[in-house]
Amino acid sequence: MINAIYGKKVGMTQLFNENDEVVAVTVIKAEPNTVCQVKTVATDGYDAVQLGFGDIKPQKVNRPMGGHFTKQGVDARRYLREVRVEDGSAHANGEQVTVGNFAEVKKVDVTGTSKGKGFAGVMKRHGFAGGPGGHGAHFHRAPGSIGQCATPSRVLKGVRLPGHMGCDTVTVKNLEVVRIDEESNLILVKGAVPGGKNGIVRVRMA
């Protein structure tokens, strides 16, 4: 069984549940994913399927990828992602994964790429408290001491410092599936998921 589907984050909205309570939901548009390649222990050393999604004009596919799609006997897709399965031989090229597969699923794990925030200091990036805010202080937003003097005479690995923030692969687990719209290929999950609008996300059965 293929327990994941890829789609794009549309945005957030709100719904009313059966108790007339407002629920914030994220809308994920997951059009049918097509199996473009099957990998088995015999041929590749592990069991997995390659899922393709997103429309693309045939003339926009480069020759190596065009050859790959032709060899597998499937239509060209814009994006390719791999999902592990228990038995690769149970699947075939051209098989489709739709949001209907998640009709009975209550909880999902959603993986995406978080929004990039550029270069950030330790207060924004790691939640440091910072120094006094008064005019007499000369220590406001700096990290402070980052190591020892004579021993070991270097900064140890793993010290939390300023640097690039965001653009990380983030997984939010056990999100409640609020609604499935098979006609529009939509999955509505309770709460927020990583990334901005139109970001690619993986929805996996929890």
State residue 113's pLDDT score. Answer: 97
Nearest to 162 by CA among 112, 203, 124, 106: 124
**Whether 49 contacts 82, CB under 8 Å:** yes
Note the pTM of the prediction, 2 decimals: 0.88
State residue 18's pLDDT score. Answer: 86
State residue 157's pLDDT score. Answer: 94
Asked if pLDDT for residue 1 goes beyond 90, the answer is: no
CA distance 87 to 185: 26
State residue 148's pLDDT score. Answer: 86
The residue extents of the domains of the chain are 1-32+98-127+161-205, 34-96
> What digits encode the pLDDT tens for the residues 156-199?
999 999 999 999 999 999 999 999 999 999 999 999 999 999 99
> What digits encode the pLDDT tens for the residues 29-47?
999 999 999 999 999 999 9
Region 10-17: what's the mean pLDDT? 94
Nearest to 109 by CA among 33, 21, 177, 10: 177
Asked if pLDDT for residue 126 goes beyond 90, the answer is: yes
> What digits encode the pLDDT tens for the residues 65-124?
999 999 999 999 999 999 999 998 999 999 999 999 999 999 999 999 999 999 999 999
Asked if pLDDT for residue 17 goes beyond 90, the answer is: no
Asked if pLDDT for residue 149 goes beyond 90, the answer is: no
State residue 159's pLDDT score. Answer: 96
Region 1-30: what's the mean pLDDT? 94
CA-CA-CA-CA torsion sign (189, 190, 192, 196): positive
The domain covering 1-32+98-127+161-205 belongs, at the CATH homologous superfamily level, to: Translation factors (2.40.30.10)
pLDDT band at 146 (very low <50, low <70, confident <90, very high): very high
Same fold, 1-32+98-127+161-205 and 34-96: no
Contacts of residue 145, Cβ cutoff 8 Å, sequence gap at least 6: none
Out of 1.10.260.40, 3.40.50.620, 3.30.160.810, 3.40.120.10, the CATH code matching 34-96 is 3.30.160.810
